[in-house]
Amino acid sequence: MKQTKEQSVVSQADTETDYDAIVVGAGFAGLYALHSLRDKVGLSVKGIEKADDVGGTWYWNRYPGAQCDSQSFIYCYSFSDEIREEWDLERRFPKQSEVLDNLRFVADKLDLRRDIQFGTAVTAATFNEEDGHWEVSTDTEETISAQFLISGTGGLSEPYIPDFDGIDDFEGFSTHSARWPKETVEFADKRVAVIGTGSTGIQIIQEVAKSDPEQLSVFQRTPNYATPKRDRRLDEMEEAEIRANQDEILEKAHNTGSGYPFDSSYETAEEMTMEEVEEILEPRWQEGGFQFFTAFDDLRENEETAEKVSEFVRRKIREQVDDEATADKLVPTDHYIGTKRPPQFTDYYEQFNKEHVSLVDVTEKPIERITATGIQTTDRHHEFDMIIYATGFDAVTGALRKIDIQGRDGLTLEEKWAGGPESYLGLSMHGFPNLFTITGPQSPSLLSNVPVPIEHHVEWITNAVEYMIDEGHRLIEPTKKAEKAWGIHNRKEADKTLYKTTDSYYLGTNVPDKPNVFMLYAGGVDSYHDIILEVAKKGYEGFELTDSIQNLGKSGDTPELSVLNETTTESVSSDD
Ligand code: NAP
């Protein structure tokens, strides 16, 4: 479908493009971006999605036991009362199918599918410098042009499987958790291996263990601090109460550091005895959910608080596991709780009390290779019918880096991010005009209840595009100086925390040869949101806005960034 200039509301275009905007991905981010740009601004928008349906991460992660760790009443869009009111909440924590059904419902309700091309992966995106637009190539051999390119590719969408020797030799069933087949997989009487004990591995393990396998072997490298979820079906009274307060709850969630509607109860546990800490944590442990992490304000900054909370959870793990040697292996001692994404459990630890469930510590006995019939560790061969790789993701940057993105002056994203991601506000990049990254690197994204920052980003992008149309601008690109200032500000926020003390996908340490830099904005969703709103209010401070590609990069000195604190801007020299 060719978009004519007359049809387009972005009427300043020098040349015709197929669409005003291309949105990559049809998960929470892509669906809202498509709706907002198409139905609010009136742009012609094309959605492109690799899967054969909407859902994003909730489409792909259909493994047994997949369930959201955020409560159903906050893991949702807040932008439409109607959508919320028409949707019934089933459980305290929605299962994968419930979140997926909700996104399908939203797509139907807003009539989004007609503008999404499913079963199509974006392989490359090149900025056409002559005409000032993006040309997007797909694995269906198409090239589609648009003035704006919006990525809604998600931070956890590029699966990572370690490069084990012999991985293709295995003759049984094997899959990565995020590529689970649509058909039912039976575990009864099977010998099953699960590699990985992150949030995903824990959910799969507790499900497989209860599905009558002959044997379940859990291959663990690093134990995790899992806290209870305490899921249950919501009864009518609970749902009615949530409904009565949901506006307020969501409003609150949009104004906290975490994107959750919870306040911290105490500043610190530094001066408290372990008994006092236990008294505070015990009711939160019983309540379940991420509220547990809001007992102390400085959990992620103060080693003393972190150690006390970690010790509480270590004791709780020990209480649930009968065999002392197994408990020893399941108890983390090499990092503090909360320094990587905390998993939640339903009945994970008690599965290890079953005869048919065993734990293999791969730090003691590393995996040497995968064979036709199982896994060879340094001490023995383990025979399996099934191997499940719950080995995580090339997080935050993986999905974008997989697309061959080329900006101005032939600069590729691969080159730009060779030393780790660089961006302005986690939303945009110098050298890549009119490209917006929803919950991109250096934004709070994975450190929070993600639908919240997704909405903030989509609304910010929508307003920026409207502003450009009103002001007669065709191109928007952050200055190098603004990008550098944002990088410094990011590092400073991360340095205040304990995140860098632990290997994690936040730092890229889970993927060999990935630059090890902290990739997320640690200053909090609320502060971050204030900053991006202030940037917009100040006429998109730090961005160059222009009507012609020839003018880009020629606007002379860019003013100081007043929205970031003095120390950040001071250290960016004027010739940057
Ligand atoms: P993950 O947290 O990165 O965990 C991957 C696991 O694989 C870790 O235990 C890791 O060990 C292990 N592993 C990686 N390479 C290995 C190797 N060569 N040998 C042995 N073990 C290896 O990935 P995930 O569990 O898929 O979770 C990713 C994120 O997805 C979560 O943090 C969460 O944000 C999201 N998620 C959300 C939900 C939810 O809302 N309910 C559910 C699932 C996932 P190391 O720790 O030693 O690296």
The DSSP annotation for 476-495 comes to EEE-HHHHHHHHHHHHHHHH
Q: How far is CA 184 from CA 52, 64, 102, 181, 538, in A?
A: 18, 9, 22, 8, 54
What is the residue whose two structure tokens read 């990572």?
160
Dist CA 127 CA 219 (whole Å)? 45
Q: How far is CA 87 from CA 77, 79, 501, in A?
A: 11, 14, 42
Bridge pairing between strands 133-138 and 122-128: antiparallel
Atom 19 in ligand 1: residue holding the nearest Cα? 221
Contacts of 211 (CB under 8 A, 6+ apart): 64, 186, 187, 188
Q: Is the CB of residue 422 below 6 angstroms from any atom belonging to ligand 1?
A: no
Helix (H, G, I), strand (E, B) or coil at 378: coil
Dist CA 240 CA 22 (whole Å)? 39
Contacts of 235 (CB under 8 A, 6+ apart): none
CB 436 within 8 A of CB 475: no
Single-letter residue type at 125 = A
Single-letter residue type at 369 = R
**Which residues, in sequence order, are bridge partners of residue 67?**
95
CB 101 within 8 A of CB 89: no
Cα dihedral 288, 201, 69, 33, rounded to 10, equals 170
Q: Is the CB of residue 71 below 6 angstroms from any atom belonging to ligand 1?
A: no
Helix (H, G, I), strand (E, B) or coil at 128: strand
Dist CA 460 CA 410 (whole Å)? 28
Between the CA of 218 and the centroid of ligand 1 the distance, in Å, is 13
Phi and psi torsions of 113, nearest 5°: -60, -30
Q: Is the CB of residue 428 below 6 angstroms from any atom belonging to ligand 1?
A: no
Helix (H, G, I), strand (E, B) or coil at 389: strand
Q: Is the CB of residue 396 below 6 angstroms from any atom belonging to ligand 1?
A: no
Between the CA of 71 and the centroid of ligand 1 the distance, in Å, is 21
Closest to 453 in 3D by CA, of 365, 527, 545, 361? 527
Q: 387: which DSSP letter?
A: E
Single-letter residue type at 430 = H
Contacts of 245 (CB under 8 A, 6+ apart): none
Between the CA of 453 and the centroid of ligand 1 the distance, in Å, is 22
Dist CA 310 CA 225 (whole Å)? 8
Atom 23 in ligand 1: residue holding the nearest Cα? 392
Between the CA of 392 and the centroid of ligand 1 the distance, in Å, is 4
Q: Is the CB of residue 341 below 6 angstroms from any atom belonging to ligand 1?
A: yes
Dist CA 188 CA 130 (whole Å)? 61
Atom 12 in ligand 1: residue holding the nearest Cα? 196
Atom 33 in ligand 1: residue holding the nearest Cα? 199
First to last CA, the chain: 42
Single-letter residue type at 508 = G
State the maximum Cα–Cα separation within the chain, in Å, rounded to a whole number.
73
Q: Is the CB of residue 199 below 6 angstroms from any atom belonging to ligand 1?
A: yes
Dist CA 400 CA 395 (whole Å)? 10
Closest ligand 1 atom to residue 362 Cα is 20
Q: Is the CB of residue 201 below 6 angstroms from any atom belonging to ligand 1?
A: yes
Between the CA of 399 and the centroid of ligand 1 the distance, in Å, is 17
Dist CA 366 CA 358 (whole Å)? 16
Distance of CA 320 to the CA centre of its chain: 30
Between the CA of 200 and the centroid of ligand 1 the distance, in Å, is 6
CB 520 within 8 A of CB 396: yes
Other CB atoms within 10 A of residue 88 CB: 10
Q: Which one of 199, 229, 337 would you pick to mutate in the ligand 1 pocket, going by the greatest count of ligand atoms within 8 A of its CB? A: 199
Q: How far is CA 1 from CA 7, 123, 184, in A?
A: 12, 20, 39
Phi and psi torsions of 102, nearest 5°: -65, -40
Closest to 27 in 3D by CA, of 427, 439, 511, 505? 439
Dist CA 470 CA 468 (whole Å)? 5
pLDDT of residue 531: 97
Q: Which one of 62, 176, 200 would you pick to mutate in the ligand 1 pocket, going by the greatest count of ligand atoms within 8 A of its CB? A: 200
Please give the chain's pLDDT, 576 residues, in tens. Answer: 344 444 565 644 456 899 999 999 999 999 999 999 999 999 999 999 999 999 999 999 999 999 999 999 999 999 999 999 999 999 999 999 999 999 999 999 999 999 999 999 999 999 999 999 999 999 999 999 999 999 999 999 999 999 999 999 999 999 999 999 999 999 999 999 999 999 999 999 999 999 999 999 999 999 999 999 999 999 999 999 999 999 999 999 999 999 999 988 999 999 999 999 999 999 999 999 999 999 999 999 999 999 999 999 999 999 999 999 999 999 999 999 999 999 999 999 999 999 999 999 999 999 999 999 999 999 999 999 999 999 999 999 999 999 999 999 999 999 999 999 999 999 999 999 999 999 999 999 999 999 999 999 999 999 999 999 999 999 999 999 999 999 999 999 999 999 999 999 999 999 999 999 999 999 999 999 999 999 999 999 999 999 988 888 766 555 567 777 644 554 554 444
Helix (H, G, I), strand (E, B) or coil at 408: helix
Other CB atoms within 10 A of residue 359 CB: 21
Between the CA of 100 and the centroid of ligand 1 the distance, in Å, is 21
Q: Is the CB of residue 222 below 6 angstroms from any atom belonging to ligand 1?
A: yes
Q: Is 410 exposed, middle or buried (0-12, 13-18, 19+ CB in 10 A)?
A: exposed
Atom 43 in ligand 1: residue holding the nearest Cα? 200
Q: Is the CB of residue 392 below 6 angstroms from any atom belonging to ligand 1?
A: yes
pLDDT of residue 443: 98
Q: Is the CB of residue 339 below 6 angstroms from any atom belonging to ligand 1?
A: no
Tokens (6 digits) for 334: 């090499």
Q: 91: which DSSP letter?
A: B
Atom 31 in ligand 1: residue holding the nearest Cα? 199
Q: Is the CB of residue 67 below 6 angstroms from any atom belonging to ligand 1?
A: yes
Dist CA 71 CA 328 (whole Å)? 31
